[in-house]
Amino acid sequence: MVSRQEPREPHELAAATTPDPDLVAVLEDLFTDYRANRATPTAVVDLDRGLWQRLEELGLTRLTGSEAAGGSGGSWLEAAALLGLAAASAAPVPLAEHDVLGGWLLEAAGLSNEGGLRTVCRPDPSGVALNVTWARDADRIVTLWEDRDQWRVADVPVERVAIEERRNLAGEPSDTVEFDLDDLEAGSVVAHEIGEQFHLRGALARCAQVTGAMERVVEVVLTHVRERQQFGRPIGRFQAVQHLVADLASETALARAATDAAVARAAASDWRDPGMLFAVGVAKSCVGHAASVVVRGSHQALGAIGTTLEHELHTLTKPILARRSEYGSLQDWDETLTALASSAGHDRLWTLITTGRAKPSSARFHPYDGA
């Protein structure tokens, strides 16, 4: 089991933190083996139930759940490592939805986390939720919604909802779900900060996934430019290609640094640090801008081969584009950062950068509607 870190005081948040190295080694072996043995990629992506069963056997589908609730007791450091390595292998499994978001909501609401695979969503007041990833494959849907001045959570069996099957840009299930309002009215009340944190947690989970996928893209590109010959030498020796690869690597490194900083702050404070909005916003902005450079540049480097169904590249770049706009678009987060910087003013801008706080007592975060 992975021991959960105790929350730290704000002045301790700069301390270096890394995920459990033994767990990371297990994950690297697991997903390296998965890449080597998976079937040829296709345009339509379905849940890999064999991989999901393997992850369940290893206790990874409930990595961040408390040991008292049957989880493995991992922190966000371990969760981010798992999400990133799974995304780097284009693994079609709902780790973020089932554990990091759904499992956390169930524990916060005091509800059981037994009973199969779950996804998560926030329906609108009419009971409709759009773009619910993996809904058709779930046994239950963990639902969060705002009921006047309260937040509620319900664990709804999939048999009680209507699902219109759709797919996102990556070809993954991304369905429209309609709930019976009676099910929602019976939901458990949770603390207000749970509703506020959900959007931030979802955004940071997507950052971890996109960053992991971009790091794998850089590896794929480096391998290609070393092996691909043109005019009697590897194309990686041409200066234009070197500049292209440098852009990919530098943008990915920036996204990794911003994501790791937010994850470390979340793990150290158990999400209680008032600077989390700024930290997640920086990560989401850096990751979103990097995604454009990495996707465009990688397909330029590989040319037509990168667009074929048989090649690995599209299994990485399409999810990158699909996930970068979930839990707030790039424009949304850039506007949030602009508002925080403007409210800080020139005299507190450095304080905002170093602590994440624009003012001594920042206003409460109001999450965007939906995912």
Instruction: Tell whether 27 is covered by a domain.
Output: no
The share of the chain scoring above pLDDT 90, in percent, equals: 75
* Mean pLDDT, the chain, whole residue set: 90
So what's the pLDDT on residue 14?
A: 46
- pLDDT band at residue 360, thresholds of 50, 70 and 90? low
Judged against a pLDDT cut of 90, whether residue 312 lies above it is answered with yes
Residue 128 lies in a domain: no
Q: Is residue 33 part of a domain?
A: no
Q: What is residue 119's three-state secondary structure?
A: strand
> pTM of the prediction?
0.91
Which tokens in the block code for residue 311?
A: 């090649």
Contact (CB, 8 A) for 74 and 106: no
Arithmetic mean of pLDDT, 268-272: 92
State residue 183's pLDDT score.
Answer: 74
Q: How many domains does the chain have?
A: 1
Residue 335 within a domain: yes
pLDDT grade for 149, boundaries at 50, 70 and 90: confident
Decide: residue 58, CB within 10 A, 0-12 exposed, 13-18 middle, 19+ buried.
middle
For residue 208, tell me if it sits in a domain: yes
The residue ranking higher by pLDDT, 305 or 316, is: 316
How does residue 182 score in pLDDT terms, banded at 50, 70 and 90? confident
What percent of the chain has a predicted confidence (pLDDT) above 70?
92
Tell whether the model's pLDDT for residue 240 goes beyond 80: yes
Torsion sign over Cα 221, 223, 224, 229: positive
Task: Give residue 333's domain range.
Answer: 193-355
CATH of the domain at 259: 1.20.140.10
DSSP-derived 3-state class of residue 211: helix
Residue 359: its pLDDT value, please?
67
Please give the span between the terminal C-alpha atoms of the chain, in angstroms, as a whole number.
31
What tokens appear for 142 in the block?
């963990």
Residue 17: inside a domain: no
Is 116 inside any structural domain? no
Residue 5 domain-assigned (yes or no) = no
Confidence of residue 12 (pLDDT cuts 50, 70, 90): very low
SS3 state of residue 85:
helix
Burial 299-328 (b: 16+ CB within 10 A, else e): bebbeeebeeeebbbbbbbbbbebbbbbbb
Contact indicator for 330, 324 with CB cutoff of 8 Å: yes
pLDDT at 168: 96
Taken in order 88, 93, 98, 99, is the CA torsion positive or negative? negative
CA 183 from centre of chain? 28
74-133 pLDDT tens trace: 999 999 999 999 999 999 999 999 999 999 999 999 998 888 999 999 999 899 999 999
